[in-house]
Amino acid sequence: MQNLVKEFIEKTLETSVVLEKPKDISFGHYATPVAFSLAKELKKSPMAIADELVLKFENCFMFEKVEAVKGFINFKLSASFLQSLVDAALLNRDNFAKQDKKNEKILLEYVSANPTGPLHIGHARGAIAGDSLARVGKYLGFDITTEYYINDAGAQMDLLGLSVSLAARDFIFNEDVTYPETYYRGEYLLDIANVVIEKFGKEIIYDESKYKDIAFFSKDLVMDIIVKDLKDLGIEFDNFVSEKSLYSSWADTKEVLEKNGSLYSKDDKIYLKSTQYGDDSDRVVVRDNGIPTYLAGDIIYHKNKYDRPFDKYINIWGADHHGYIPRVKAAIEFLGNDSSKLEVILSQMVQLLKGGEPYKMSKRAGNVILMSDITEEIGPDALRFIFLTRKSDTHLEFDIDMLKNQDSSNPIFYINYAHARINQVFVKAGITFEDIKDIKFDNLNEDGLNLVYESLLLESILNEAFIKRDMQKITEYLYSLASSVHKFYNEHKVIGSDEQNTYLKVLSIASLSINVGLSLLGIKAKEIM
């Protein structure tokens, strides 16, 4: 809707305009300060210019009123224009607020947790943010490929093999075990250990030379858990890329870096000159034992990414990776690629409460709150929604008991109730879409027109949310729209009134907007509550 309005205004005025939405809708649905930008060129006051420009919109189908106010031009959309948009939307529901395919190809990487244990609640935030961003972007026409980077190389794999062995000896064979300072813990290790013993025999548990074999076998079992837990949350990936599989290309990658002078040796280690691109110190890429570092793995991976034909690369990382950004971008530049094509979104930690108290850690995971536990307790829809009520780079704290409330304090309940309420009004009235599709808005009251207008804002909200990488824009919009639905229903008699079918058509577009908005967040709107 906003794009249509903007294009029409620009065509009429023969100049580009900035279109704003006034905070007070009584001033109009849209406003532009274009007169101020033309004042210098035309050598007139903005007020005089605005008065002249308004005359160009006389007898316009799109607008009921166009007026100049202190140099601004305010536009109030006409009932007939709003009706035409509603008619088009209701007749083609699957494409409501959808946009044409764009030429921009995006590789979106998120989650990418170590395959050493089940996902915890912190991982869930990045997972939900990434999945929702992908859904919205695809709906808006972007060609998006989603990817999970499996960190299956490095010290964490050795530690996984050791941890499985220790768990087996301690809890299966009831031996006295001395644990190192750092190790993985949790009941999931016992499940893995039992499978390892069944497949390879008890002896492998005691053979330190086989720890790496145990680790890589266990990694696949952990990934099965991770994939299942993500699927339970409605998240699936196009690609999984193994860090280990990419290490065969380290020699070639290292050669490129050496040729351009971005590496140097010191104390038997090899460093990347990352300070040249804003890092606070140069970083080790090869240890003194000749083994590449974690950074080397990421360099290989980003070379692999850039070798594939994408226009943009988006990474969603945990907040602890903030300092990691300049060194990865440095490596990208040293490899001869454009680091500005890489966008990194940081996902902050989550504070989880239950009844006002910190949520208890999971025994199955050892020392974290499992994503799967929360999904099971409150359901995937509630978890997805609450994680999207704050931009991912801000702190999030919520009490899961609040998500069991059946009132406005529980946002997903409140929105679903609005959608279900509309559905049930149709059922009670015995009315179908066929009965209302030809209804005109000529005599529709201001409240009804405002609800129609708000419902038609979905496309612009989706655009803004995607551009700003902020799904909070969508959750806020849906809550506001649900509130408007409830208010309208409470203040206006629908069933049995003279305006019944007109009001039902108004509620239809609100229902459609809620349905599409929730679906793009990975949530199915409730029909009955």
Residue written as token pair 């029909």: 527
- pLDDT tens sequence across 88-145: 999 999 999 999 999 999 999 999 999 999 999 989 999 999 999 999 999 999 999 9
CB 362 within 8 A of CB 370: yes
Phi and psi at 120, nearest 5°, equal -100, 180
CB 260 within 8 A of CB 253: no
Q: What sign does the dihedral 358-360-366-368 (CA atoms) show?
A: negative
Longest dimension (CA), the chain: 91
pLDDT band at 210 (very low <50, low <70, confident <90, very high): very high
CB of 30 closer than 8 Å to CB of 19: yes
Average pLDDT of 142-167?
94
- Identify the band that residue 449 occupies on the pLDDT scale cut at 50, 70 and 90: very high
- Are the C-beta atoms of 316 and 147 separated by less than 8 Å? no
| Mean pLDDT, rounded, for 285-313 | 93
Residue 404's pLDDT band (cuts 50, 70, 90): confident
Nearest C-alpha neighbor of 153 from the set 222, 245, 217, 272: 245
**What is the pLDDT confidence band of residue 454, given thresholds at 50, 70 and 90?**
very high
What average pLDDT does this structure show over 241-270? 93
Sheet holding 263-266, edge to edge: 263-266, 269-272, 283-286
CA distances from 9 to 66, 76, 119 (A): 11, 13, 50
| Other C-beta atoms lying within 10 Å of the C-beta of residue 516 | 22
d(CA 125, CA 392): 7
Band of residue 320 on the pLDDT scale cut at 50, 70, 90: confident
- Taken in order 460, 463, 467, 471, the sign of the CA dihedral is positive
Question: How far is the C-alpha of 403 from the C-alpha of 383, rounded, in Å?
Answer: 9
Q: Do the beta carbons of residue 76 and residue 29 sit within 8 Å? A: yes
β-strands 342-347, 283-286: how paired?
unpaired
How does DSSP assign 375-394, residue by residue? HHHH-HHHHHHHHTSS-TTS
Q: What is the pLDDT of residues 27-68, one digit of tens each?
A: 899 999 999 999 988 899 999 999 999 999 998 999 999 999
Binned at pLDDT 50, 70 and 90, residue 229 comes out as very high
Instruction: State how far the Cα of 206 lies from the Cα of 213, in Å rounded to an integer.
Output: 12
Length in residues, the chain? 529
In contact, 168 and 157? CB cutoff 8 Å: no
User: Torsions phi, psi of 181, nearest 5?
Assistant: -65, -35
The answer, yes or no, to whether residue 365 has pLDDT greater than 70, is no
Tokens of 306: 């850039």
Tell me how far apart the alpha carbons of residues 24 and 19 are, in angstroms, rounded to a whole number. 15
**How far apart are the C-alpha atoms of 115 and 243, rounded to whole Å?**
11
Q: Are 174 and 195 in contact (CB under 8 A)?
A: no
> pTM for the full model?
0.93
Domains of the chain: 2-77 (3.30.1360.70), 84-100+406-520 (1.10.730.10), 155-224 (no CATH)
Q: Which of helix, strand or coil describes residue 65?
A: strand
> Amino acid letter at 347?
S
What crossing angle do the helices spanning 458-467 and 472-491 adopt, rounded to 10°? 160
* β-pairing verdict for 239-242 and 143-150: parallel
Residue 370 has pLDDT above 80, yes or no: yes
Q: Distance between CA 156 and CA 49 in Å, rounded?
A: 67
Rounded CA-CA distance 338/236 in Å is 29
Taking alpha carbons only, the member of 420, 368, 324, 304 closest to residue 119 is 368
User: Residue 364 has what pLDDT?
Assistant: 61
pLDDT at 479 over 70: yes
Which whole-number Å values give the CA distances from 368 to 13, 64, 114, 372, in the listed order? 60, 58, 14, 11
| Per-residue pLDDT, 84 | 96
The pLDDT of residue 366 is 63
Lookup result for tokens 């010290």: 155
Q: Rounded mean pLDDT of 370-389?
A: 94
What is the model's pLDDT at position 440?
A: 96
| Encoded amino acid at 164, one letter | V
Cα-Cα end-to-end distance for the chain: 31
Note the pLDDT of residue 153.
87
Geometric angle at alpha carbon 226, from 224 and 227, rounded to 5° = 65
Distance CA 398, CA 75 (A): 40
DSSP state string for 280-348 = SS-EEEE-TTS-B-HHHHHHHHHHHHHTS--SEEEEEEEGGGTTHHHHHHHHHHHTT--GGGEEEEEE-
Contact 218, 196 (CB under 8 A): yes
Q: What percent of the chain has pLDDT over 70?
A: 99
* Average of per-residue pLDDT values in the chain: 94
- Give 3-state DSSP helix, strand, coil % of the chain, rounded to 5: 55, 15, 30
Confidence of residue 363 (pLDDT cuts 50, 70, 90): low
Once rounded to an integer, what is the mean pLDDT over residues 172-178? 94
The distance of Cα 305 from the centroid of its chain, to the nearest Å, equals 21
